[in-house]
Amino acid sequence: MATRMSGLFGRTLREAPAEAETANHQLLLRAGLVVQLAAGVYSYMPLAWRSLRKIETIIRDEMDRAGAQELLMPAIQPVELWQESGRLDAFGETMFRFRDRRDREQLLAPTHEEAVTDLFRNTVQSYRDLPQRVYQIQNKFRDEARPRGGLIRVRQFLMKDAYSFDADEPAFQDSYDAMAQAYVNVFQRAGVPITRVQADSGAIGGKSSHEFMFLTAIGEDTIALCRNCDYAANQERAEFGRGLAPVEEPAALEPVETPGLTTIDALAHFLEIPASRTAKAGMFLADGRPVFAVIRGDLDFNELKIANTVDAHEIRAMTNDEISAQGWVAGYASPIGLDAKLTDATVVADISIPNAPNLVAGGNRTDLHLRHTNYGRDWQAAHVADIGLARDGDPCPTQPDGTPCPGAIALDRGIELGHIFRLGTVFSEPLSAHFTDADGEQQLPIMGSYGIGVERLLAAVIEQNHDDQGIIWPAAVAPYDVHIVVIGFDKPEIAAAVAQTEAALEAAGLSVLTDDRDERPGVKFNDADLLGMPVRLTLSPRNLKADVVELKARTAAEADTVATAGLLARLADILHTPQPSDAPAS
**CATH number, domain with residue 487:** 3.40.50.800
Do 222 and 165 lie in one domain? The reply is yes
Indicate if the pLDDT at residue 10 is higher than 50. Answer: yes
Is residue 177 in some structural domain? yes
Indicate if the pLDDT at residue 577 is higher than 50. Answer: yes
Do 423 and 512 lie in one domain? The reply is no
**144 exposure class (CB count in 10 Å sphere: 0-12, 13-18, 19+):** middle
Give the C-alpha separation, 119 to 72, whole Å. Answer: 11
Give the C-alpha separation, 295 to 303, whole Å. Answer: 12
pLDDT tens digits, 294-329: 999 999 999 999 999 999 988 999 999 999 999 899
Region 431-439: mean pLDDT is 96
Give the C-alpha separation, 24 to 38, whole Å. Answer: 19
pLDDT band, residue 399 (cuts 50/70/90): low
Do 287 and 187 lie in one domain? The reply is no
Identify the CA nearest to 423 among candidates 239, 66, 185, 166: 166
Indicate if the pLDDT at residue 586 is higher than 50. Answer: no
Q: At residue 171, what is the residue type?
A: A
pLDDT score, position 440: 95
Edge-to-edge order in the sheet of strand 548-553: 3-4, 512-515, 482-486, 535-539, 548-553, 560-563
**CATH number, domain with residue 175:** 3.30.930.10
Range of the domain at 554: 482-574
Region 383-390: mean pLDDT is 96
CA distances from 531 to 33, 435, 482, 507, 545 (A): 9, 52, 11, 23, 28
pLDDT score, position 338: 74
Please check whether residue 47 is in contact with residue 32, taking contact to mean a CB–CB distance below 8 angstroms: yes
Indicate if the pLDDT at residue 205 is higher than 80. Answer: no
pLDDT band, residue 5 (cuts 50/70/90): very high
Do 218 and 264 lie in one domain? The reply is no
Is residue 227 in some structural domain? yes
Torsion-angle region of 95 (φ positive above 0: left; ψ -120 to 50: alpha; else: beta): beta
pLDDT score, position 583: 45
When mean pLDDT is compared across 18-22, 175-179, 497-501, the lowest value belongs to 18-22
DSSP type of residue 442: E
Give the C-alpha separation, 145 to 211, whole Å. Answer: 22
Please check whether residue 494 is in contact with residue 55, taking contact to mean a CB–CB distance below 8 angstroms: no
pLDDT score, position 538: 95
The residue out of 335, 351, 385 marking a domain boundary is 385
Dihedral pair phi/psi, residue 577, rounded to 5°: -120, 150
Indicate if the pLDDT at residue 575 is higher than 60. Answer: yes
pLDDT band, residue 581 (cuts 50/70/90): very low
Is residue 336 in some structural domain? yes
Do 539 and 444 lie in one domain? The reply is no
Is residue 40 in some structural domain? yes
pLDDT score, position 402: 67
Indicate if the pLDDT at residue 175 is higher than 70. Answer: yes
Indicate if the pLDDT at residue 471 is higher than 70. Answer: yes
Dihedral pair phi/psi, residue 465, rounded to 5°: -125, 85
H-type alpha helices, 105-160: 113-123
**Secondary structure, 3-state, 360-378:** EEECCCCCEEEEEECECCC
* 583 vs 380, more confident: 380
Region 225-250: mean pLDDT is 91
**CATH number, domain with residue 259:** 3.90.960.10
Is residue 472 in some structural domain? no
Do 210 and 90 lie in one domain? The reply is yes
Please check whether residue 501 is in contact with residue 493, taking contact to mean a CB–CB distance below 8 angstroms: no
CA distances from 134 to 47, 68, 69, 137, 423 (A): 29, 5, 5, 11, 15
Indicate if the pLDDT at residue 514 is higher than 80. Answer: yes
Cis peptide before 131 (omega within 30 of 0): yes
Half-sphere exposure of 36 (CA within 13 A, CB side): 19
Edge-to-edge order in the sheet of strand 279-286: 315-317, 279-286, 289-296, 346-350, 383-385
Region 395-416: mean pLDDT is 86
Do 297 and 234 lie in one domain? The reply is no
Identify the CA nearest to 567 among candidates 510, 485, 525: 510
3-state SS, residue 422: strand
Is residue 3 in some structural domain? no
pLDDT band, residue 21 (cuts 50/70/90): confident
Task: Report the DSSP pairing between strands 96-99 and 409-424.
Answer: unpaired
Is residue 405 in some structural domain? no
pLDDT score, position 146: 86
Q: Please count the residues of the chain.
A: 586
Do 511 and 552 lie in one domain? The reply is yes
Give the C-alpha separation, 310 to 347, whole Å. Answer: 9
Is residue 560 in some structural domain? yes
pLDDT band, residue 267 (cuts 50/70/90): very high
Indicate if the pLDDT at residue 93 is higher than 90. Answer: no
Indicate if the pLDDT at residue 280 is higher than 60. Answer: yes
Region 386-402: mean pLDDT is 87
Q: Which residues contact 443 (CB under 8 A, 6 or more apart)?
A: 127, 167, 434, 435, 436, 437
Do 199 and 271 lie in one domain? The reply is no
Give the C-alpha separation, 154 to 144, whole Å. Answer: 7
Indicate if the pLDDT at residue 532 is higher than 60. Answer: yes
pLDDT tens digits, 129-159: 999 999 999 999 999 888 888 899 899 999 9
Do 278 and 162 lie in one domain? The reply is no
Percent of the chain with pLDDT over 70: 96
3-state SS, residue 102: coil
Give the C-alpha separation, 408 to 405, whole Å. Answer: 8
pLDDT score, position 341: 63
Domain count, the chain: 3
Do 122 and 224 lie in one domain? The reply is yes
**Chain-centroid distance, C-alpha 423:** 18
**547 exposure class (CB count in 10 Å sphere: 0-12, 13-18, 19+):** exposed
Indicate if the pLDDT at residue 284 is higher than 60. Answer: yes
Indicate if the pLDDT at residue 509 is higher than 90. Answer: yes
Region 102-112: mean pLDDT is 95
Kind plus residue range of the DSSP H or E element containing 353: none
Q: Which residues contact 7 (CB under 8 A, 6 or more apart)?
A: none
Do 58 and 188 lie in one domain? The reply is yes
**16 exposure class (CB count in 10 Å sphere: 0-12, 13-18, 19+):** middle
Please check whether residue 90 is in contact with residue 313, taking contact to mean a CB–CB distance below 8 angstroms: yes
If you average pLDDT over each of 457-466, 542-551, 572-581, which comes out highest?
457-466
The maximal CA–CA distance of the chain, rounded, in angstroms, is 100
Identify the CA nearest to 34 among candidates 335, 479, 416, 551: 479
Give the C-alpha separation, 4 to 514, whole Å. Answer: 5
